[in-house]
Structure 1
Amino acid sequence: MKKFIIILSTILLGGQLTAQKVTPDQLDQIKRMSRRNNHIEKTYTGTVEKLLYSFQTLGGPLSGLVFRKSDGKLTYIRFSDWYGKSFKPFLQEGKKAEIRVTGDPLLLDVLIYRDDYLRELEFSMKEEIFGMGILKAVKNETGSISLETMDKRLIQNRFFDRLVNVYNADVKSKSELNESEILICLQNGDSLLMAKGSDYSLDEIPQKLSYVKEVRDEDNPAYFRNPHVFNLYRGKASQVLISQNGSFLINTLLMNTEVVSIDEFIPENNGIVESAWVRNLEGERLLVKFDFKRGQEIKSLFELGTRTVHLMAQRDSWKILGIEEGETVNEISRGTWRHSSEDYNKNISTIEGKITTLFQTKIQGIERYTGAIIDDSIYMNIPDYTGISIGRNIKVGDQIEIEGYKKVNSDNEYHMKEYDIYYPKTIVLGKKTYSVKDLFRNGL
């Protein structure tokens, strides 16, 4: 695990890795870049030779540069994408600058290992590169900036997942950009880069595409050479990888557009519907999930038969992001749908009864209880840590007493089982009392 974290950190801050065996020299270089306790700072004067953009040939975020020092040698300098917009005004190709960098004492002057990315970079520069480091500050004739003086409000925006859905964009043209990529130009001004070997071949790309893209406005801290070009991830496997590892890996995702009808709605343990089995025109059954606060709306939309839906892949299902109704698309929330404190009455109620059903799951090898039905009419949420600690002390048939908050049902929700739903503050089983983190103090 530690080795994986080191490699991942190096991809983000210290270089590009390809699917090749890690050699001793490469691992040594990775460790030196990641081990910060012995890093030193140096200041170089010279010329910005080339600005470097991450992950794609067009439109990627600015994340580094090749700098020619005063001794004539080239050095490879990296920085995080979210510093791009702040650094860019002071980094102009062919212009003089003074930069302050940090790095391993040896690697600042000597490269132990050159991966494919660095070899290709040297080939494009037609010169050898000596050393690598991380940019901390830059000064040119127009002014200066450093990590310490950057606008912290702009940098903090990297923590916010700012995405927007685009539906049924018309394809203007499609062509092979190079031996590994296809370029799709859309009528709305966006262009999508898709790797060859994706679900679609060049001839199979439909005339309308729906996709999720990153918002690239003045609040985005990254600088893009072309803000309207997006690296496209296509296919369920790619999208599942993204959902597991986070959206920092993506620019955009292509949605799957299907015409489907509802086979059956599926209630959760608490009786609220937030998923369904649907059937597409080919007869294939798909498990879809949606915002439970839109359940009645979705039920009404499908009462008239088939609908065109725009889907995002999950690990074992699809998430509905949009449902077409005539010429419009009803957009469904993209986020993780969960109950919040706003859904519950703030007054505490006391409930007593007999446990008639228990719900259990296994997460990372640990079994825990997630909920219980009391007297066949009340559903009790069991939060994560309580579900583990309550362990063997709870079973069907036990008498139970809870103090907690009752959920306020919404007319927008679709309930197939009319349970009263409670979030407990305390749970009493026999002579043992369990305290649960307070819903309104800590959130769910």
Structure 2
Amino acid sequence: MRASSRPVAGIAGSVRAPGDKSCSHRAIMMAAIAHGESTITGLLEGEDVLNTAKAVKALGAGVARTGQGAWTVDGVGPHGFASPASDLDFGNSGTGARLMMGLVAGHDVSATFTGDASLSSRPMERVLKPLREMGLKAETAAGGRLPAVLTGGRLRAIRYAPPEASAQVKSAIMLAGLRADGVTVVEEKEATRDHTERMLRAFGVEVGVEERAEGGPVVSVRGGQALRAIKGASVAGDPSSAAFAIAMALIAGEGEASVTGMLDNRTRTGFLDAAKEMGGVLRVEADGQATGEDTVRVIASASRLKGIDLDPALVPSMIDELPIFALLAAFADGRTKVTGAAELRVKESDRIKAICAMLAVNGVAVDELPDGFIVTGHGARGVAGGGLVEARHDHRIAMSALVMGSAAKQAVAVDDIAMIATSYPEFFDHMASLGASVETGAA
């Protein structure tokens, strides 16, 4: 199904950030291997997280929805997973598939991991390599891709330094380390999102974190620790989803918009830092707490933005927000350069190519780099628009294109919006409540 977004004079209003996808995956997984019944609120009910819930249920955990964003999970304990009767289908979710590989590795089960065409084109060896060193048996399709048949069992602890900064690799190793003999250690190349460490602690697991003068932290977990069920666990709002409303407020004419309940974590707030550096008018106020995380309210106002050279050190903390950041660059005065983002090549799409194509078809001057892009901004209301964006089965490209239409001179269309439901089911309702003009219809 296609959609198009028309220019508006301004936006106003407030939305609550949907549950963070990364934290939602982790809450379901950890509750599934805990002793007893956990209750979770604020869970993101996008297709990616629902596929993770189906996977742990197929492995033996009790999973039930009790209300909007409210779930109970009856954990099987550290030894309770059983081989599923059918394949574990993770749809479009790399996080779900990769973290579940670590969770399954230490159990005496055999499971086939599958996904949609997009996920099946993405690399899995970066996760499977260290898990094999720990003792997992895994057979994959050509190129280390899905489908993959995993056979878990007894694991040995390892000390591993991932060649690229990756929270997914770190998390998979840590989850496997819960079932390994000894202490498993991950030496990070640079700091990545630390939701796994925080969530494990909330479930009663001791996690070691040693900061270093150079490089990222050294994270460790001792095998044999049991997780305790949590009554009243809650999931903070997703900064990656909140970024769309924040960006629209900055570039779509006059007005002010706020996002409440957003996760406040230094490993995830790079987008706010970058937007402020560009001249974005943002206020951030404390807004409570969720399990293992603080939350904030972000108020964004229409702003005159300027181009910047994005510090590569910020990239890991805004990797998922780079498509919407590219829009800020398009509506800024001057040049914006992004480097150090080669990870975008292996997301739901080749996001560097997808970002450049999205901008170019709407009249924005953009140069593709091996690890990023250079955007020559057109200033406020200076982007021509009028293009049809190819989403490439990538939810963040589709949503970014529709935000662009709110601020461009002409409407912007996107060829497919089906995948938006994987991460942000409320996207269209939230856009409308803020004053955006979006129309959907058959292709």
Same fold, TM-score > 0.5, yes or no:
no
TM-score range, shorter chain: under 0.3
Higher RCO structure, 1 or 2 (CA under 8 Å, sep 6+): 2
TM-score, normalised to structure 1's length?
Answer: 0.24
TM-score, normalised to structure 2's length?
Answer: 0.24
Please state which structure has a larger fraction of its residues in strand.
Answer: 1
